[in-house]
Chains A and B, each alone.
Chain A
Amino acid sequence: MKSPLKWAALALALLLIPVLIVAVFVDGDKDNPSFAQGKLATGTVPPEYEAWVIRAGTMCEEISAPLIAAQIEQESNWNPNAVSPAGAQGLSQFMPYTWPSYGVDANGNGVISPFDPPDAIMAQAKFDCTTVEQAKKDLASGRIKGDLIDIVLNAYNCGYGCVLANGGPQIVNGETEGYAPGVKAKMAKYTQIGTGGGRVANCSQFRPGGGFGANVAAAALCWQGTPYAWGGGNIDGPSLGIRDGGVADSHGDYGKVGFDCSGLVVYAVGQASGKTIQLPHYTTSILNDPRGREVALGDIQPGDIVFPGGGDPQHVGIAIGDGKMVEAPQSGDVVKISPLSNLGSGIEIRRFG
């Protein structure tokens, strides 16, 4: 009598222990509401690493599983044996002299190695979360300024000393400033649909899952009054413009975040598409992007992307109806509504939804 009971209980336990483990890991994959990061989309990372990526996303509230996954893609494209010419190792590309500070025997196999994927993934999370804690203190004291996640990512690329030396994530060495946007852009494909928020969610006209064109227009209109910043704007919102030391700086371009004309379009189309359409940040490239459909002037609708005629446009805006567009016009100006006629005659129109 006891034996069947014992085996039944044991079988039930064995059946449910994995459920317990997974449930703990998954439930810890927090919403990260303050940073609008979502949950890991199932099947987007190599299956042998999925549980570890989810677990890494539970280490601290600010670092999500999709962020961890996007970083790994950026660093090694999921190659656990990667070694860079400078000696960076494994999935997360730790330098040998950095590894001892963050390496952990995550899977308890008695070895701590950057080539052991669980160790690498958890060490990466440890680095990110350690940086979060330090950055929070330095942000609070005013030692540095800027977006917390940008700080973390740029510290991963350039070092925390580099962040401190620049007063925040505004690092302009030609590489680091591209690292955070590059990682963030990769997050979309790792994020479970509907779990990633975003600043556009605060925009009353924007309706998640609503009409594509209406949402393109709404996303851009939400940022009326935001400064023009040359080189500014990406799929997540306004970003730091390029410093010029002269006119643009005197207009406030330097040290402020904003959009230039194509940056605003990258953002609006990206948001309306749930970040599935990441346009190039350049007018000519947007005009010629194969995902855009040519539209006749008589068929123009809100959310269509509008260019001056001639085939090699110097500007781009977003139609909002009634013969108007929303645009980021030029240095010293702000995102605003303007007459479509400002583009001249023979305008070109593209629709991405």
Chain B
Amino acid sequence: MTPKFSWTASAAVLAGAALVVAGCSSGGSDHEQTTTPPASTTSFVTPTETTSRVPATPPSTPLTAPAALPAEIGPVDQASVDAVAAAVARIWYGWDTTRDLTQHDAKLRAVPLLEPRLAQLLRDYPPIAGPGADWLDLTARSAVLTVPADGVRPGVEAGAPADTATSAVRLLEVTQKVNTPTGPMPDRHLVVGIALVKVGAEWRVSQVGSR
């Protein structure tokens, strides 16, 4: 008897409470969202095969960086603003997703042409989250993205600060060629701003920004 009464009363109280709270929540609100409430039985699948290529441990910082530029870039006239800017653009946006873990690996390859502060930043602070959906898609396709020498062209937009003896900026149009084991994908086009500073007698890149 008692249990039956309690059960009925509880249900009624619960229903009433639901009415009251739902009524309060709609007052003064323009919400019209409807959602499925979270279920405690949500199922999920843990991938049985991981595409991770490294142990699940924090990277040891500072990261190591190569002392020499990639061979495919060839010799770079480091007294030339344009040559240094173009070389960094080619390296920075040259991604081998079959070898690189993230875009960060490509940036580290440019270290010999980077201002010491930027180089240190890249070595000290690798990404702590994933490289993003685009990179995951490229990785699934085993894509290799290269920027050929003629894939870097001067941008045309004016207004940038003028060069000085110790600083310069360059706006570049960059084309990434995308190749996969099943054939090429459409080229990618970027507009990239690059800032450079003179370090001794040579130019070094202090900032790279894709628009």
If A26-B33, A165-B125, A230-B169 touch, whether A88 touches B130 (CB-CB below 8 Å) is yes
Q: Select one of A12, A27, A88, A261 contacting B11, CB under 8 A.
A: A12
Q: How many residues of chain B get a CB closer than 8 Å to chain A's CBs? A: 91
If A16-B18, A54-B33, A175-B103 touch, whether A157 touches B128 (CB-CB below 8 Å) is yes
User: What's the minimum C-beta distance from A96 to chain B, rounded to whole angstroms?
Assistant: 4
A177: Cβ under 8 A from any B Cβ: yes
The complex places the Cα of A21 from the Cα of B37 at a distance, in Å, of 7
B21: Cβ under 8 A from any A Cβ: yes
A205: Cβ under 8 A from any B Cβ: no
If A17-B14, A93-B129, A281-B191 touch, whether A242 touches B169 (CB-CB below 8 Å) is yes
> Which residue of B is nearest A242, CB measured?
B193
Cβ-defined contact, B136 with A248, below 8 A: no
Instruction: Chain B residues near A84: list those with CB within 8 A.
Output: 51-52, 101-102, 130-131, 135-136, 139
Instruction: Chain A residues near B158: list those with CB within 8 A.
Output: 261, 314-315, 330
Instruction: Chain A residues near B12: list those with CB within 8 A.
Output: 9, 12-13
The complex places the Cα of A108 from the Cα of B39 at a distance, in Å, of 9
Q: Select one of B15, B55, B121, B163 contacting A12, CB under 8 A.
A: B15
Q: Select one of A162, A171, A247 contacting B167, CB under 8 A.
A: A247
Instruction: Chain A residues near B207: list those with CB within 8 A.
Output: 172, 174, 242-244
Interface residues of A in 242-297 (CB under 8 A from B): 242-249, 251, 253, 260-262, 280-285
A158: Cβ under 8 A from any B Cβ: yes
User: What's the minimum C-beta distance from A350 to chain B, rounded to whole angstroms?
Assistant: 16
B183: Cβ under 8 A from any A Cβ: no
> Which residue of A is nearest B128, CB measured?
A159
Q: How many residues of chain A get a CB closer than 8 Å to chain B's CBs? A: 111
Instruction: Chain A residues near B124: list those with CB within 8 A.
Output: 162, 165
Cβ-defined contact, B139 with A55, below 8 A: no
The complex places the Cα of A103 from the Cα of B37 at a distance, in Å, of 20
The complex places the Cα of A279 from the Cα of B191 at a distance, in Å, of 13
B42: Cβ under 8 A from any A Cβ: yes
Q: Which of B23-31, B64-72, B144-152 contacts A (4 or more CB under 8 A)?
A: B23-31
Interface residues of B in 179-211 (CB under 8 A from A): 191, 193, 195-197, 206-211
The complex places the Cα of A324 from the Cα of B161 at a distance, in Å, of 25
The complex places the Cα of A5 from the Cα of B87 at a distance, in Å, of 80
Interface residues of B in 149-168 (CB under 8 A from A): 155-164, 166-168
The complex places the Cα of A117 from the Cα of B124 at a distance, in Å, of 31
Cβ-defined contact, A109 with B156, below 8 A: no
Q: Select one of A16, A162, A171 contacting B15, CB under 8 A.
A: A16
B76: Cβ under 8 A from any A Cβ: no
Binding site for A on B (CB under 8 A): 4, 7-8, 11-12, 14-15, 17-19, 21-22, 25-26, 29-47, 50-58, 92, 97, 100-104, 107, 118, 121-122, 124-125, 127-133, 135-137, 139, 155-164, 166-169, 191, 193, 195-197, 206-211
9 examples of A-B residue contacts, CB within 8 angstroms: A9-B11, A10-B8, A84-B136, A85-B101, A228-B159, A231-B209, A243-B207, A284-B156, A285-B191
**Which 3 A-B residue pairs are closest in the complex by CB-CB distance?**
A246-B167, A93-B130, A88-B130
Given contacts A172-B207, A245-B167, A331-B159, 18 further A-B contacts (CB under 8 A): A9-B12, A10-B11, A26-B33, A40-B33, A85-B52, A85-B102, A88-B129, A88-B131, A107-B40, A115-B44, A117-B42, A118-B38, A159-B125, A175-B127, A247-B167, A262-B157, A314-B156, A330-B158
